[in-house]
Structure formats: structure tokens, C-alpha cells
Structure 1
Amino acid sequence: MELHVVINGRKDLAGQLYQQLRGAIESGRLAAGTQLPPSRLLAEQLGISRKTISDTYAQLTYENFLTGVIGKGTYVNARSTPVQRKQSHSELASAEVIESWCNLPVFLRHPTLEGSLRYDFIGGATSKGQFPHDDWRRCVSHAMRQMAGSKGFYSVAEGLPALRNAIARHIAFSRGVNCQDEDIVVCNGAQQALDLIARVLLRPGSLVAMEDPGYPPARLLFGTHGATVVGVPVDAEGIQVQHIPDGTRLIYVTPSHQFPLGMPMSHARREALLARAYELGAIIIEDDYDSEFRYEGRPTDSLHNLDQRGIVAYVGTFSKTLLPELRLGYAILPPAILEAVIRAKQLTDLHASTLPQWALAKFIAEGCLLKHIRRCHTVYAQRRERILARMATDLSPWLEAVPASAGFHMAVFCRVPIDLPLVIELAKKVEVGLYAIDGFYYQQPARSGMYFGFGAIETLDIDIALDRLRDILQQVAG
């Protein structure tokens, strides 16, 4: 790739080159560590003598802007503070919109490696030690060969046919979901699926109903589309359908493993929800984010399978079964909104990256995903049992687990008044990551409690972490 330098005329060539290179370094356009072209190549590119290039490099090296490495080349050595932007967002015509985005709260962001704790009960994360790196590497190599044989054009917005077919087969086997390949749209994670559905259904002022407590990123996302979000209370059977208001256009639920409390929605409640949505002319988003990991009880039918009228959009993700960094999810869409969502997908990012799509299609087709889920299921079941055992014994004076039969997080309520912010802060000091559930409540009164993710913490670390939690609770709550 050529270095962008513009030479005007034939006067003061060295001066022009010097000013442009120095300006690029000072502004940050040429970052520290960037290798500059050899003098011969740059001379050919600019049509000037090699000596002019060499003299300029020498001058910039003398001034400590460049450094030469024998046998390797010339590199940018340092740069001064980048030019400050003069205009703040408050001076722009769109200041109010920008401010609203800047003021959005941040939920469920995973820490960087440097900011992570030794014993972390963070939710939505998996242990990389369980990931089948060798199988995935082989599938990525297959994907590279597939791409090498392609014409290099953009792909289709709805996703590669091979992956859509693999997803249809996988969820038919693992979740009993009956769909066709053409019903599926591959997305960059479940969050994009929610965004695309919202784009085609919502306008400013549209009513959206969702569980309360519920998934904050979904609520915030719907709000950015101008929707009015109504928090509907939940009980032991799931969302209380009778509280879904008239005029609701979209209903968001997590029926297989309610987020964050964990209970499944009863069959009767599912039937009532479908009837209410049909009465309202609303679409239901069924977010089935981690129900592949089920530990007890019989499987329940998905809302999608019970739907006889085409009003359920089923959303799934591979972030929970594989890795969050993979950023691949999917939506199984009813015919009424399928084409609209595909158009929206095409306008937002054309399509998801084809390399991981090819790799995942191969990974699923060869049975690697099912083997990985079975392996993780055994591990997660052990971790879940260990946490439940501790909640029923030495932690029981303070904490009570909420019954949950699936997923890899569980919620616990406080049995007695506890200063949870203090407990969480003290836990950080002993390298234990704890998380309160009060931020998941929206319009309903918040209950005091925490949620324990057990996807990322190692099994042998659980007792160590809970011992430290017990000691803190004895200190804070007596």
C-alpha cells in the first residue's frame, strides 16, 4: 500500500516531503511503530530522487520523529499530542440526540482482561477452557478454502444457505423448533436481531411490553427507536399477561429461562400470551438465549412451536453455547416481517462476515456443536449443584436461590436486609466478582438479590469464592 504524500511542482521537494511526513506524525495519522516505505520505493512512487528521500528520513530521525532499525527499515518513533477537536457535541445541531446516547446506562459489559477478577460470577460468559479450539481451527480452515473459491462478491443479507440449513437442523434437534431454511436470518449476535425486528415494527411512541425485571439492553434498544417501554411484572409462571397494555405493538419475553430470575414460563401462560398478542396484533420476540443447558424437568415447547398464527419471532445466539466474541446469532421470523427484516439487514451492514459463517456451518454439520454442548452441560451442571448446595447450607441464613432448571446463571434473593453495594465492594477487594439484580428492574419495585453466572468461573474456584462471600456476609449482616 502506498504512503499518501502529495508533491506539488518541482520546487523545494525535500521541504514538501519533510512537512508532510512531520505533519502526519504529529497529527497521529502515522502512528508510533508504523514502518515507512524504503527510500527507493517512495522515490519511485513520488517521482523524485532517492537522495531527497534519504535526506528527509535522516532529518526526521535526527529530530527523533523516526528511528532506523538495521536490517528492518525506518519506523515512526514518536508523535506529539494529536490535534484537539475544536467543536464539542453541545455546539452541534444534533446535540440533544448525541446527549441522549451518551447518557444511556451501560449494562452487562464484560471487563477487559486487565480488569477481570480472579473469582468472577459474571453472567453471559463462558470458559475458554471448554472451547474446542482444534475443531474450530479445522472448520476455519475449511471456511478459508470456501472463500478462496468464491468470486469475491458481497454475500446475501439473510446469511449463507449452508449456515441457515445447519441452524434449522440444529434447533429442530435441540429445541424441537420446526422451521425452514428460508425463515432464518443470520445476525451479528442476538442483539442485532432485536434491533432489526424493532426497526421494522416500531415508530416513535410505539408501545413495547417486556418482562420486569428483564434484559436491560433490550429495553434500552427499544427506547432508542422511540418506543415507550412498559415493564410487565412476572411471577412463578412468567410474565403476567393481564398487565400487557392495549396498543402494544411488540412483546419481548425470555420464556425458557426468564432473565434474570430463571423460572420457565408455564404452558398455560404461554397460551395466554399468544392469545393476547394475537388480540393486539403484536409480534412476540422469544429470546431463547441459553436453554440448550437444561438440568431438570421435561423440555417445554417453545412459543414458536405453539404459534399457529405467525406472530412469534424466535431469536437465538451462539454467544452462550460457544464464545461471546463470535458474535453470531439468528432470528426465525414469521412471514409477515421476514422480507422487511432482510431489507433492514441489508441496509445496516449488508451481511454478517462470511468467514465465521462458513466455519460455524461446518462446525454444526459435523456434530461438533452438539458434542461441545454436551461437554459443557456436564461442567455447568456440577457448578450449578455446587452453588445450590452452598445456598442451602452455610449461605442460607442470608441468601435464597430462585428455582431455575436451565441456563448457566441463577438468581438469589436476600432473606434478610443486607447492604449489597457494600458486600459487592468488599468482595472485589478479595478478587470475587458479584452482581446485584436491582438494575434489571424497571418499573416494578426491585427485590434485593444477586445473580451468579457459572459459565466462566472454574468449578474448583466456586467454594473458594463462596467462602469469601460467607465471611463478608458474617461481617456485614451478622
Structure 2
Amino acid sequence: MTRMRASFVPPVAVDPASASPIYLQLSDWFRQAILSGQLHPGQRVPSTRRLANELKISRIPVLGAYEQLQAEGYLETFQGAGTCVARAIPSDLAGPMRAKPPLPSEGSEPAARRISRRAALMRTPPQTWLSNLGAFRVGMPALDHFPAGQWSKLVSRHARSLSVDGMIYGDPMGYLPLREAIADYLGAMRGVRCEAAQVLITTGSQQGLQICAHVLFDHGDRVWMEEPGYPGAHQALRTAGAQLVPVPVDEDGIDVAQGARLGPDARAVYITPSHQFPLGTTMSAARRMQLLDWAARQQAWIIEDDYDSEYRFGGRPLASLQGADRHGRVVYLGTFSKVMFPALRLGYLVAPRDLVEDFCAGRDAIDTFTSTLYQRAMTDFIREGHFARHIRSMRMLYQERRQAVLAGLREHLGDRLKVIGADAGMQLAGYLSPEVDDVALSRTAAGQGVSVRPLSLCYLEPPGRSGLILGYGGASLEEIGEGTRKLGQCF
């Protein structure tokens, strides 16, 4: 067992005024800490000299306590490693002490511990299909093709030259050079009309949604949601107290006319127009104009999540909805998690000009600011051209993987999965026959090491349509071939 360094002195309690000798107080404290699991077998304890100095007592009682504990088998000494908790403490003695729950009255069931309604809304059922990587984990980029060496150099560059400015609390809006780089990128590539002052750095689109909810909504405000739509948005907005109104999605995107009938008093709408999650369709120009007109007339907000917009394989790239907004009703969300790697935890939000101070205050209230070190490295990654090169490279790779998935599905599933919306992003969706339980099928596939997400869980109002969502960004060609074969066998 690996022994831990005694970098910290445990919170040993002694009372000089007690009638009990100090060496007995010390031995009792260590014995109880070991039996309760506070100190673990093999963990190093402070030297007698160091503990005596910390407690401002003589070293003699500390020596006496340690000798007593060694004699009883609770401590042992190692050559060159000092004194450690004995590794042979019986497992039935050493372990965390648990408080006993109160006994229920005779004939009654124990009452559940009370939690907030918000916490209950955050719960999700077990999702076994999320335990696998490779084929076909949704939202996973090609991490094996990420230029990790170049990224490491940039992080090391800023870590080595870390100044006081890089270690203090940062601007809640984010590192200004990164905001400037993002504003330039969004203007050139996505047609977003903004200045760096409007860009707010987040830890991802999920936090962007939470900030939007805190700034824009009151409890009970109604919000249109695409049906089917992104479960993460359902969760973020529900826990903020929003009342979600499911609005059907067709091949042109969210049905604005239907939304106006279902939720005429809605405060906002959440959409993924460039690559609808989960169906993969693209919102038509006519629907975009309808939605912008509705938002302007109703004084409502549009939260545009520009999901997977970097990867489009058919036709010309589409500009953002925000770029066509003339009334300042659109809040634009983006993330680097899918383009770079999920653990980076960097995203961005473009706020309307007159709400910048409100969004800054909302960001500050949630968790102050985002890690400055990664923001600085990301700035160089964009400015030095690595970001654009990586996107170009991944676009070709994902197109190849998409074709492999389509071919594999045709070969092993035939007409059992009707693929839709496969011309963009890092995933595709398909409809199953109504009699097929997509949740059960996803669990069966997970048992075979294949991760497919059930489409029905993306609906707010059950029963949702049966189908599967397959991510191909993080799956090699070999994994795709094997994954489609196993998926076919699951039927």
C-alpha cells in the first residue's frame, strides 16, 4: 500500500487543563481517528518533534503516546519513512463511522430525507449508455487527433511566465484578449455581430444557459423548447424555475406558429438552429425570420445555442441567427468543449449590448470567473492559427467517419433505422419502428460496449418517438465498423 506524505498535521485535540494526562489524550485521539477511518492504513503521521511544535507542548508526551500506539499495533515505523498508521488494522475495525438514522416508530416506514424541489429536478435516471467511449458516444470529439503537443506548449508557456496578474481574481467577463479573439472569429466565421465587450467567457454552454436563466427569467416564466430537444437545456432551465413549453420541430426547425399557439406569453425560446439537437436538421431562412419577428413583437428572448456549427458537410455554411437580429433579442452561446476537448471547460456567451452589465453581474454571482491560465493559452491557440487548422482537419475527418457510419448502418441495420439530419456535426439520429423500445435497446448495446443514446429521452412530453442518436466524432473507423455490427446484433 502506498504511504501518504504527512504534509499536514491532523486536527489533534488536547486540553492542558484536563485531569487526563496529555499522552493519554493524544493516544485516545489517534486511536479514535484510525478506527473511524479519519486516518487510513499506511498513512504517514507527523513526526513527534513536528507534532509537539504544532501543539506547543513538550515532546515527551508525544513520544509516550506514539510508543503506546505502536505497542497496541495502531502505528508502525518504517526505515526512512517515519511513523505510519499500521497497514494491518482489521477491516472490521477501521472504516468511516456512520451516524445511525433515527429509528422509525413501530409499524411505520422511515421518512425520506427532505431535499429541495430543485435538487429533485436535477436527478436523472441511470444512463448506462454513457459509460462507454468510442462508438458511438455523443458529444465526444476525436481526442486522438487533437494537437496535444502544441496545446501543452502554449499552456507551459503561460505557466512558466505566470505573473501576479495571472494569479489574482479575474474579470467576470473573462480575459480580454480571448474575448477579442472570439469576437473576431465569430464575426468572420459565424456572422455574429458583436464587440469584445459583449463576449462573456463561461465554463461551457451549460453554464451559459444557467446565466441566461438567472438574468432573463423570473420563476414561472414560460420558455419554448424544441421538441425533441437538448436534455441539458431542459435541466438547466427547469432548475432555474422556468416553465417549459414543448414546441414541435420539423424539417425546417422549430414551428413558430405552433409555438405562438402553445405559449403565446412565453418569455423566451431556446433553439439550436444550425444543427438541431438531436435531429440534426437546419432551421430554414423563413423560420428564422418568423422567429426573430415573433421575439421582437413579444419582447421575448432567443437563446441561440450554436451547437456543432463548425462542422457542416453539405451546402454553404450558414450564418448565425444572431447576425440577422436587428432588435437585440438574441443571446448567443458557444463552447470549445466539442472542438477542443471536454475537460477544457471553456465556452462563451454574446450578450445584447444593453445587458452586458447584467450578464457580468450574473456571471460574478455564479462562480466569479474562469481559469485565467487556460484562457491565455486558448487566446494564443486562436491567434497563432492552430484553432482554424484544427477545425479544417477535423471537418475532413468527421466527414469520413460520418460516411463510415452511414455505410455501416446500411449494411448491418438496413431499414430498421431511418437516418435523418446527417449533413452536419459530430452525430446523427435515426428513427426506429414505434414498437422498438429505444431505451432497452440502448442498454443492450451498452452491455456490448456500444454507446447509443435513446431519442425518446429528448422529449419533454412522453411518449417520445423511438430512435437512436449516434456520435461518431470520437470513434475510429475500426470502432465504427465493429460498433455498427454489434448494434445490428442487438436487434
TM-score by length of 1: 0.90
Q: 1:109-139 deviations in whole A, cap 9, x for unaligned? A: 7978xx436x531101123212221112111
Q: Which residue of 2 aligns with 1:25?
A: 34
The whole-number CA distance in structure 2 between the counterparts of 1:34 and 1:263 is 56
Conserved 8 A contact 1:391-1:400: no
Alignment of 1:216 with 2:223, yes or no, is no
Conserved 8 A contact 2:74-2:85: yes
Offset at residue 222 of structure 1 (A): 1.2
Identical-pair percentage: 35
The whole-number CA distance in structure 1 between the counterparts of 2:177 and 2:75 is 50
Q: Which residue of 2 aligns with 1:144?
A: 159
Q: 1:241-278 deviations in whole A, cap 9, x for unaligned? A: 01222211121000000000000101111111111111
Q: 1:5 aligns with which of 2, 9, 12?
A: 12
Q: 1:184-238 deviations in whole A, cap 9, x for unaligned? A: 1111111111001100122221111110100112112211122210000010000
Q: Which residue of 2 aligns with 1:178?
A: 193
Q: Which residue of 2 aligns with 1:464?
A: 482
SS at match of 1:195: helix
The 5 A counterparts of 1:46-125 are 46-77=55-86, 80-85=94-99, 97-98=115-116, 101-102=119-120, 104-106=122-124, 115-116=131-132, 120-125=135-140
CA distance 1:417–1:356, shift in 2 (3 Å): same
Q: CA RMSD in A?
A: 2.7
Conserved 8 A contact 2:77-2:84: yes
The whole-number CA distance in structure 1 between the counterparts of 2:213 and 2:85 is 46
Offset at residue 98 of structure 1 (A): 2.7
The whole-number CA distance in structure 2 between the counterparts of 1:363 and 1:111 is 33
SS at match of 1:248: coil
Q: How many residues end up aligned between the 2 structures?
A: 467
Q: 1:257 aligns with which of 275, 279, 286?
A: 275
Q: 1:263-322 deviations in whole A, cap 9, x for unaligned? A: 010111111111111111111110012111111111112111001111111000111011
Q: 1:17-53 deviations in whole A, cap 9, x for unaligned? A: 2223333334444455543222222222222333432
Conserved 8 A contact 1:264-1:404: no
Alignment of 1:239 with 2:257, yes or no, is no
The whole-number CA distance in structure 1 between the counterparts of 2:450 and 2:161 is 44
Q: 2:388 aligns with which of 348, 365, 370?
A: 370
Offset at residue 393 of structure 1 (A): 4.7
Q: Which residue of 2 aligns with 1:476?
A: none
CA distance 1:59–1:426, shift in 2 (3 Å): same
Q: 2:337 aligns with which of 319, 331, 344?
A: 319
The whole-number CA distance in structure 2 between the counterparts of 1:26 and 1:345 is 44
Q: 1:206 aligns with which of 211, 221, 228?
A: 221
CA distance 1:470–1:381, shift in 2 (3 Å): same
Query: Mind listing any 5+ residue stretches in structure 1 that lack a counterpart?
Result: 474-478
The whole-number CA distance in structure 2 between the counterparts of 1:170 and 1:191 is 21
The whole-number CA distance in structure 1 between the counterparts of 2:39 and 2:147 is 39
Offset at residue 64 of structure 1 (A): 4.3
Query: Mind listing any 5+ residue stretches in structure 2 that lack a counterpart?
Result: 1-7, 105-111
The whole-number CA distance in structure 2 between the counterparts of 1:165 and 1:85 is 53
CA distance 1:255–1:63, shift in 2 (3 Å): farther
The whole-number CA distance in structure 2 between the counterparts of 1:72 and 1:111 is 45
Conserved 8 A contact 1:107-1:216: no
Q: Which residue of 1 aligns with 2:48?
A: 39
CA distance 1:420–1:248, shift in 2 (3 Å): closer
Conserved 8 A contact 2:272-2:306: yes
CA distance 1:283–1:103, shift in 2 (3 Å): closer
Conserved 8 A contact 1:390-1:396: no
SS at match of 2:173: coil
